[in-house]
Structure 1
Amino acid sequence: MADTHFPPQTFVVATGGKKCKPSVLDPRIRLVKPDGTPWQGDPPDVTVSWDAVTGKPTTLPPTDGSVTTAKLADNAVTKAKLGSDVVIPDAYTLPPAGTAIGGVKKGTAVPDTETGDAATVATVAASLNALLASLRAAGVIAGS
């Protein structure tokens, strides 16, 4: 049954400032929590180790906002982690070189053509044929 004759008084707990000498008229009070246990004041800052945190994520998203090959390979960046409004296009496949604009492929190395007195029709033709074969093998020019 609640006591309505003596409503609770509000006391302000202040720290610091001017101290005064208690007098006979000062009320005697005891501060308690709602459960009746003694009030100890505001708790100090508490430091909790990361290992003691429960419910933490097992994989954290990148904090620097970057997306690197290593992060992608390690599944640190996924569509689910980026959000539902993110559009990730399909992987791009470079089309082969051909009549349409496509990739430029690297052919095999062909030695330089001999010059000067040592050059013959046969050596120049062999060098040219090696170059053409390299370009065909790379798909840069069509086969003959």
Structure 2
Amino acid sequence: MAVSDFPPQTFVVTSDGKKHKPGVLDPRVRLVNPDGTAYKPAATAGAAVADATDATLLTQFNALLASLRAAGVIDGS
């Protein structure tokens, strides 16, 4: 029986859970809200990060590198 022969299952989305990397044995599913309407995820941090400018990202990255150097995690060369 091909994978497409299985009917999709319905899962009700109620709260966030652990992240899971999809595998070949994972079932096909349909996500719905508790009221039965189709589930649409809210905007996430990914959308906010995508709006960041290159200059902002460069500043944040350089600050991260400086803090790692100060903590001795990476070499200051």
TM over 0.5: no
Which structure carries more strand by proportion? Answer: 2
Which structure carries more helix by proportion? Answer: 2
Provide TM-score, normalisation by structure 1. 0.20
Q: Which protein is bigger by CA-based radius of gyration?
A: 1
Provide TM-score, normalisation by structure 2. 0.36
